[in-house]
Structure 1
Amino acid sequence: MGFFSVFLFLILCSFEKAIIALAATSPEPHLPPHTTHTVEVNSLLPATTCTPSTKGHTNNKASILEVVHKHGPCSIFHKSSKTSTTKTDDKYHAQILKQDEARVNSIHSRLNYRIHDPFTQSAASTTLPAKSGLPLGSANYFVTVGLGTPAKQLSLEFDTGSDLTWTQCRPCLRSCYTQSEPIFDPSLSSSYKNLSCSSATCTQLSSAGIPHRCSSASSSCLYGIRYGDGSFSIGDFAKEKLTLTSTDVFEGFLFGCGQDNEGLFYGTAAPPVISPSATEEAPLTASSSPSSPRYPKESRRLGLAGIKVGGSQLSIAPSVFSSSGTIIDSGTVITRLPAKAYAALRGAFREAMKNYTLTKSFSLLDTCYNFSGYETVSYPKIAFMFGDGLTVDSDATGIFYVVSSSQVCLAFAGNKDDSDIGIIGNVQQKRLEVVYDVAGQKVGFAPASCP
């Protein structure tokens, strides 16, 4: 199964303002100035106005597909009235992190081959356990693409951790959840085509370890995918025209046309969308140059080998990272580390932040601070070290998850089991340019200059 073009660039422009400012009102940093970030507290809070990125729009060598934070001010789903810190906001962030935990559990179970088969699960019943009635929040990013002929615009979450692109389709033979845009109708597209169950493409289909099925009525190919929170989608595996920009149009794009979609889905046309390696079996590796070494093919893992806090490398045995491995995922919010690595990171970070008062934990985040009394704060820089000598610094906006100014938390968490794979989430990808070179089997990083 093929995919498009040579490189894919992903810039997760923060929906938080990235204003760097020096001031004398914050406590003296415990670390040398060049190893710390000093920022205005207000710059950590969500922005209220949209400032679209224009980086690369004049670059003749690459086309740009804008990636927007789902609940940022540039999003069509943004609620401008949601600017105050209330108890409802706490529930909103708690739901985001709960959903994030379910996603991580799903990734771990898939990699450990413990995923359930949605074809079997849904055949007996379409009833799911009762869930919270709160509108589901999401700290993920989405893109707007055109699907079909004529092209219908759909807002799809950008998920580099999923191996299947799908969206809801009419006539929704069993169940469709409510979405803000019209559901895609394949009968109105002249380029839509179901795949035959006997085709080579169908027989090779296996999403999240779940094999394909065949429609008894039409002998067409069926896909199925289930997530860790119990949500699932089942439907036709098909070909369609995909329009990214006016010049980037791809015939025969493979995707799932969902006819039974149930669970914790809300708002956008589909939870997962284009994964740069969705139809490739190549490993992805961190690289700083074409000559960088490649790593073994195991779930497309990065060669994370160490972490720096405040310019100093943490004392973590390399085996801690190599035994579990690490992937990068735009659909996971909070970066997950092996328990021993997280304990070392947390200890060093708390030591560097000892001039600030720790406050209560929030959901899975156990290192939180009350910054409500400060105009500016200083905190240590955090960097990832990879086995080929590459070091990637986290941007100032990529270290904290902000619930409110009185509860600003370190955006890392530890896995329960050291054997579970580590995940670099989208908080740490903010304002980084991430290059997916599928043909070269590498991932590259560079500082981005988005607003």
Structure 2
Amino acid sequence: MASANSSNPFFFAFISLVCFFFFFVENKPFVSAITRKEYSELQHTHHHIPLSSLFPSSSCSSLPPGRSRKGSLEVVHKHGPCSKLMKQHTSSSVKAPLTVPHSEILGQDKARVRAIQSKLWEGQSEAREGDGRSATSEVSGQVAAPAEAPLPARSGKILGSGDYFVRVGLGTPARELSLIFDTGSDLTWTQCLPCDGSCYTQNDTIFDPSHSSSYSNIPCSSSQCSQLSSATGIEQKCSADGCLYHTKYADGSSSTGNLANETLTITQTHVVDNFLFGCGHDNKGLFNGTAGLLGLGRNPISFVQQTSDMFHRIFSYCIPSTASEVGYLTFGGVPASDNIIYTPFSSIPQSSSVYALDLTGISLAGASLSIPSSVFSSFRVLIDSGTVLTWLPQAAYGPLRDAFRNAMSKYPMAGSFAELDTCYDLSGYETVVIPKVTLSFGGGVNVNLDASGVVYVVSETQVCLAFATNEHLVDIAILGNVQQKTIEVVYDVGGGRIGFRSASCGGNSRFSTGSANLNNSTGSANLNHPNLIWMIAAILSLNSQITTLRLSTSQSPQINYNDYD
């Protein structure tokens, strides 16, 4: 007589479901078992996320309540569905395409980096000819009065990369304008009528100072005009209208016009009178769609310094993980109770205007990379809102790249893309495992990057490590905005420090707990697969029915199924 288990229909159904499960979940080979301890360790060292979370969706996702600070302005990507410039993209496609090719974005990013390096090493034998968007300001006088409060930041093509812009009001009555906010620039300027030379196309109506009751040009005899000249080291220029400015970028972009005072409106409760800015009547370059630039550098002419009485030289921003999500930009203090960790500013002899930090180490998947301490002590890292990728010296980039390739060895590699030499084809995966990257700074500060801050996604077939290597040994390292995604970055200029608060505006951290997609030589286990959850529930239900049947049959006459042969 056969055993009850072998002839029980519930038993056969149970076995069938188990076999079907192993075949169904992504059609992967057999699953190797992992211990609870191994699973827990992987949660702390790897991001386990749906591949789709790295792509923008076709609809805009607002910040959840409590994520942004009171009065903050929205940070919106110029090419995403949250931007009014994307009205033409109404497709229901899950992955909303960028309007600018990634090759162009990264090409302009490289140009910006070259310009930054060239500016810092200007006049030295190692200097390179840059053609990017870090501006060399030529100002002939006048100090601008900055705006206060939180601003909406949107990412755009203006600085030759995935830079972000905010919406502010200028003049009386206030006219809304989109300005790129840039921690690597000092002078704030916008296009103005009349266009004596040329004006590029912008989305907003070009500002007309003749329609504002609070506008005034700065005379050449003004201390503001001479102050700007001494602050920038550029000989001032004048015209019959007063003090002139000229700001020139290494890629050929430029803005020339009058230095003026105007009323700047950040929010209804944050209005700055006598804001010093450049009213540009001759403008050229890659500022497509936006009206100008908001300079957040450390020079006395910057917005930050001009509004020191109002905002105490403190501002913060949080860049969203994808173009379909919203971040924020805020001016003023932050609550002391917030979980913000601070690292002190470092100094760069070549420039007192930029923001620099001491990078002391890099970890991947919980393990510190084998990089000699002398490598980190020999350079500083510039943190920049306008640069896209993070650029490291070869001695630091090489170990990071090698460790990342080792951790991602179970995924098929793809060809390189622009400056990105470590890319993967993830088109066959619904869920992916990406090793966590931690950057260590002076003062014992460790910053864990979001998954969106580790990789740069060109397409499903090209997901790349979002770091690049510098061209020259003397080049400074630059921390780009990709690595800053979802992290609130607090600039306490008066306190001489920069703070970081993780998971502040969305990101993939929400996927990193309670889910895993483990890859090994024998196959994979996707512990967050929706079908897996359904299968487990079905198996548990069947197991319960089998147990109930066994209990009931133990008190009932036993049936010999052989009698029915």
- What is aligned with 1:321? 376
- CA radius of gyration, larger in: 2
Q: 1:67 aligns with which of 70, 75, 95?
A: 75
Say whether 1:308 aligns with 2:381: no
The offset of 1:159, in angstroms, is: 1.3
- What is aligned with 1:184? 207
The offset of 1:83, in angstroms, is: 7.9
- What is aligned with 1:438? 493
**Mind listing any 5+ residue stretches in structure 1 that lack a counterpart?**
1-22, 121-134
Q: Which runs of structure 2 are paired with 1:162-181 in the superposition (5 Å)?
A: 162-181=185-204
- What is aligned with 1:232? 254
The offset of 1:432, in angstroms, is: 0.5
Say whether 1:262 aligns with 2:270: no
- What is aligned with 2:116? 107
Whichever residue aligns with residue 67 of structure 1, its letter is: V
- What is aligned with 1:332? 387
Query: Distance in 2 between the 1:106 and 1:236 partners?
Result: 25
Q: Which runs of structure 2 are paired with 1:112-191 in the superposition (5 Å)?
A: 112-113=121-122, 138-191=161-214
Q: Which runs of structure 2 are paired with 1:21-420 in the superposition (5 Å)?
A: 32-56=42-66, 62-78=70-86, 79-80=88-89, 92-113=101-122, 138-205=161-228, 211-218=234-241, 220-270=242-292, 272-275=293-296, 277=298, 278=302, 295-296=346-347, 298=349, 299=351, 300-420=355-475
Deviations 1:13-56 (A, max 9, x none): xxxxxxxxxx9759999983420001111111122111122555
The offset of 1:210, in angstroms, is: 6.1
Whichever residue aligns with residue 40 of structure 1, its letter is: P
Query: Distance in 2 between the 1:53 and 1:161 partners?
Result: 27
Moved more, 346-355 or 255-264: 255-264
Query: Distance in 1 between the 2:343 and 2:104 partners?
Result: 40
- Asked if 1 retains the 8 angstrom alpha-carbon contact of 2:58 and 2:93, the reply is no
Query: Distance in 2 between the 1:319 and 1:424 partners?
Result: 19
**Mind listing any 5+ residue stretches in structure 2 that lack a counterpart?**
1-23, 124-129, 140-156, 317-338, 507-565
What count of residue pairs does the alignment treat as equivalent? 409
Give SS of 2:74's match. Answer: coil
The offset of 1:263, in angstroms, is: 2.0
Query: Distance in 1 between the 2:455 and 2:231 partners?
Result: 30
Moved more, 359-368 or 315-324: 315-324
The alpha-carbon distance between structure 1 residues 77 and 241, as it changes in their structure 2 partners (threshold 3 A), is same
Query: Distance in 2 between the 1:90 and 1:434 partners?
Result: 27
The offset of 1:317, in angstroms, is: 2.5
Query: Distance in 1 between the 2:245 and 2:440 partners?
Result: 38
Give SS of 1:94's match. Answer: helix
The alpha-carbon distance between structure 1 residues 294 and 404, as it changes in their structure 2 partners (threshold 3 A), is closer
The alpha-carbon distance between structure 1 residues 210 and 400, as it changes in their structure 2 partners (threshold 3 A), is farther
Give SS of 2:113's match. Answer: helix
Query: Distance in 2 between the 1:143 and 1:156 partners?
Result: 5
Give SS of 1:229's match. Answer: coil
Whichever residue aligns with residue 209 of structure 2, its letter is: P
The alpha-carbon distance between structure 1 residues 389 and 139, as it changes in their structure 2 partners (threshold 3 A), is same
The alpha-carbon distance between structure 1 residues 117 and 449, as it changes in their structure 2 partners (threshold 3 A), is closer
Give SS of 1:361's match. Answer: coil
Whichever residue aligns with residue 162 of structure 1, its letter is: S
Deviations 1:391-435 (A, max 9, x none): 011111111111111111111111111211111111111110111
- Asked if 2 retains the 8 angstrom alpha-carbon contact of 1:176 and 1:259, the reply is yes
Deviations 1:259-281 (A, max 9, x none): 111122211112x3241633568
Give SS of 2:356's match. Answer: coil
Give SS of 1:397's match. Answer: helix
* RMSD over aligned Cα atoms: 3.4
Query: Distance in 1 between the 2:365 and 2:378 partners?
Result: 26
Give SS of 1:67's match. Answer: strand
Moved more, 394-403 or 222-231: 222-231
The alpha-carbon distance between structure 1 residues 83 and 334, as it changes in their structure 2 partners (threshold 3 A), is farther
Give SS of 1:202's match. Answer: helix
Query: Normalized against structure 1, the TM-score is what?
Result: 0.81
Give SS of 2:434's match. Answer: strand
The alpha-carbon distance between structure 1 residues 37 and 57, as it changes in their structure 2 partners (threshold 3 A), is closer
- What is aligned with 2:323? none
The offset of 1:200, in angstroms, is: 2.5
The alpha-carbon distance between structure 1 residues 224 and 302, as it changes in their structure 2 partners (threshold 3 A), is same
The alpha-carbon distance between structure 1 residues 184 and 57, as it changes in their structure 2 partners (threshold 3 A), is farther
The offset of 1:330, in angstroms, is: 1.0
The offset of 1:214, in angstroms, is: 2.0
Moved more, 108-117 or 39-48: 108-117
Query: Normalized against structure 2, the TM-score is what?
Result: 0.66
The alpha-carbon distance between structure 1 residues 169 and 293, as it changes in their structure 2 partners (threshold 3 A), is closer
The offset of 1:217, in angstroms, is: 2.2
The offset of 1:290, in angstroms, is: 9.2
Whichever residue aligns with residue 303 of structure 1, its letter is: D
Query: Distance in 2 between the 1:334 and 1:141 partners?
Result: 14
The offset of 1:91, in angstroms, is: 7.0
- Asked if 1 retains the 8 angstrom alpha-carbon contact of 2:363 and 2:437, the reply is yes
- What is aligned with 1:18? none
The alpha-carbon distance between structure 1 residues 208 and 323, as it changes in their structure 2 partners (threshold 3 A), is farther
Give SS of 1:105's match. Answer: helix
